[in-house]
Amino acid sequence: MNIYTKTGDKGQTSLIGGRVNKDDIRVEAYGTIDELNGFVGQAIYQLDETETTLKDVKEELITIQHELFDCGSDLAFAKDDHPYKVTNDMISVLEKRIDVYMSEAPAIERFILPGGTPAATTLHICRTITRRAERLVVGVQREYKINAAVLQYLNRLSDYFFAAARIANARENVQDVEYIRSARVFKQPKK
């Protein structure tokens, strides 16, 4: 199998059902999702190497890698007549895991600085790349019909990465560092 096809040498690439310029916003969006997937792979590696208390997170990240391919696939169609892969069930699973992790993590009142353990740091990078991908998908939906669940999934996924990063630190007894000039932005639930 040849990895190079030379079909993109003039600045175009294939979508499913058509060709577009490589700077098309759809290509930029799913390319950013692909970049995110690479960092998720790095987080998985870091969990394998150093952190043994996060097997649940590692398993979820592997599932997320597949779901990120689903997001890219849903954005890569040039025509509207295809079944979508990203579903509301995927979003619900993320919400449940966010709730579990946020209830387990120590309470915070202010923004925190990205950092801590190697895996937590990479999960924060994943969060920021997810936000960029989400912004790009907003632009895509202004120009093209898309699966609305992709945008919702990315929105929830950034929250998941925040919660997972906090758990990666908490379970390894590494304290999150609050941003010193932050107002109190997180309210604790009333019991």
The residue-averaged pLDDT of 1-13 equals 61
Which pair of tokens denotes residue 8?
Answer: 């993109």
- Pick the range with the lowest mean pLDDT from 28-32, 59-63, 76-80, 170-174: 76-80
Contact 30, 71 (CB under 8 A): yes
| Greater model confidence, 1 or 37 | 37
Q: What is the pLDDT of residue 12?
A: 55
Confidence label for 37 from pLDDT (cuts 50, 70 and 90): very high
Q: What is the pLDDT of residue 40?
A: 98
Question: Model pTM greater than 0.75?
Answer: yes
The residue-averaged pLDDT of 180-188 equals 86
Q: What percent of the chain has pLDDT over 70?
A: 82
Confidence label for 100 from pLDDT (cuts 50, 70 and 90): very high
In 3D, which of 56, 35, 33, 34 has the Cα closest to residue 44? 56
Please count the other Cβ atoms lying within 10 Å of the Cβ belonging to residue 34. Answer: 14
Which pair of tokens denotes residue 35?
Answer: 């970049």
Alpha-carbon gap, residue 8 to 87, rounded angstroms: 32
Helix ranges (H only) for 76-178 are 88-104, 118-143, 148-170
